[in-house]
Each structure stands twice: as C-alpha cells, then as structure tokens.
Amino acid sequence: MGTESSVLLPASSGQHSLERRHRRVPVSVEVPLHLTRRVFIPAELVDVCPIGFRVRHQSTGAAPGTIVHAWGFVRARVIWTRTSAGCTESGFELLD
C-alpha cells in the first residue's frame, strides 16, 4: 500500500477509481481500542492520517459503525474491517 488514504470516487465507466486525498504516515505502536469501559481490543496501529487511522487486531468486535475510544480518549468510528490470512485490519474515522 502507498502512504496515502483512499477514497472511492465514481469513474465515468461506472466503476470506482481510487483517489488519494490524505497522506498516511506508517507507524507501529500498540493501541487499546475501548468498546466500553470494560471491553477493549488490543491492536497495533499501522498508519495514521489527519482524518483517521488503521489498526491490525484479532477481534470480531470492530464492525463498521462501531464507536471506539483509542487510548481511552480519542473517539473514532469503524469505517471498514477486512480479514485476510488470519489478519484483521480496520479503518477508523476520527470523530473529535
């Protein structure tokens, strides 16, 4: 993957084309994603950009639309989750 986040825009052929809007910065740090005060997902931060971030984790609780608190104070919404070869990644939109 490149160093920018992606947004799908309609192409003239009716298919979607990939256009990068925000530069992504690769990182590798542990981040607890709190679903509630008592439930959290241990995750690894993969990259960040001004509007969100991507993590790698082993949970099924990060469904699109789920609101989490990263590090206990950063509110974010799950936008997408994908699992491939036993690895789960989720993309988040920052809310605050």
**What is the reported pLDDT for 72?**
82
Domain span holding position 71: 25-94
Name which residue leads in pLDDT, 39 or 7. 39
Q: Report the number of distinct structural domains present in the chain.
A: 1
Could you give the CA distance from residue 30 to residue 11 in angstroms, rounded to a whole number? 37
Residue 17 located in a structural domain = no
Name which residue leads in pLDDT, 74 or 10. 74
What's the average model confidence in pLDDT over 3-15? 40
Name which residue leads in pLDDT, 19 or 70. 70
Residue 18 located in a structural domain = no
Could you give the CA distance from residue 73 to residue 87 in angstroms, rounded to a whole number? 26
Residue 8 located in a structural domain = no
Concatenated DSSP letters of 4-26: EEEEEEE-TTSSEEEEEEEE-EE
The residue count of the chain comes to: 96
Task: Read off the CATH number of the domain in which 57 is found.
Answer: 2.40.10.220
Burial of 94 (0-12, 13-18, 19+ CB in 10 A): middle
Residue 83 located in a structural domain = yes
Residue 10 located in a structural domain = no
Residue 4 located in a structural domain = no
Tell me the longest C-alpha to C-alpha distance in the chain. Answer: 48
Residue 14 located in a structural domain = no
pLDDT digit string (tens) for 21-52?
A: 888 999 999 999 998 888 888 999 999 999 99
Residue 7 located in a structural domain = no
In one-letter notation, the amino acid at residue 27 is: V
CB hemisphere CA count around 24 (13 angstroms): 21
Q: What is the pTM of this model?
A: 0.75
